[in-house]
Amino acid sequence: MSIRDYFPTWIHTGKAYGYPDCCISNFLDRGLALEQGYPLPGKFFEFRGEATGYVMCPECAKKTRKEVVDTVNSRRDPKFPRFPSHAI
């Protein structure tokens, strides 16, 4: 089992939750790097002081919190609660 086996699920889930394609791509790269034993630094989106499962790519990590939240919610599948109250 390779980390690549998780990619279709990660891509599908990331898109459903509204995460930008750049961040999803970055997340996959981070997974590959981790599998090869050299974890890449990442900036976790925090909610109420806790890291969520959303890891921002370097470009999105430079944006304001409001910009990130607005972007995610504009792309988010409406069947899910608004970000970041239910960030995964």
Which chain residues interact with Zn ion by CB under 5 A? 20, 22-23, 57, 60
With a CB cutoff of 8 Å and minimum separation 6, the contacts of 7 are: 28, 31
Of 20 and 42, which has the nearer Cβ to Zn ion? 20
Q: Measuring CA to CA, which residue among 1, 66, 57, 2 is closest to residue 25?
A: 57
CB of 54 within 8 A of CB of 19? yes
Of 4 and 25, which has the nearer Cβ to Zn ion? 25
Of 2 and 47, which has the nearer Cβ to Zn ion? 47
| Closest distance of CB 76 from Zn ion, Å | 15
| Closest distance of CB 1 from Zn ion, Å | 27
First to last CA, the chain: 23
| Closest distance of CB 34 from Zn ion, Å | 18
